[in-house]
Amino acid sequence: MSRVVLYIDDRAIAVPRGATVAAAVATATSRFRLSNDGRPRAAVCGIGVCFECRVRIDAVDQQRACMVRARDGMRVTTVAGFAAHD
């Protein structure tokens, strides 16, 4: 099976071609973002309804990771990545 390599919070992650960004993020961290009161949030529904898997993808904020297919070289920033750059 062919794989793609993307970068999640500057960490290279290889996933099968066709996998979603949410699947890739889940292999790297358990936290996609934080709720308004600071609690960690992660993908819930996997079909784009809940909006819990929002991340920054290639410098575009608020992307639903479960709705985007992973591509070679893609840059994804989760809440952990935002904290590292603050």
- Domain at 61, CATH number: 3.10.20.440
Residues of the domain holding 21: 3-84
DSSP-derived secondary structure for the chain? --EEEEEETTEEEEEETT-BHHHHHHHH-S-SEE-TTS-EE---SSSSSS-TTEEEETTEEEEEGGGSB--TT-EEE-HHHHHHT-
**Does residue 6 register a pLDDT over 80?**
yes
Q: 20-77, pLDDT tens digit by residue?
A: 999 999 998 878 888 788 888 888 888 889 888 899 999 999 999 999 999 999 999 9
Total tally of structural domains belonging to the chain: 1
Task: Please state the pTM of the whole predicted model.
Answer: 0.85
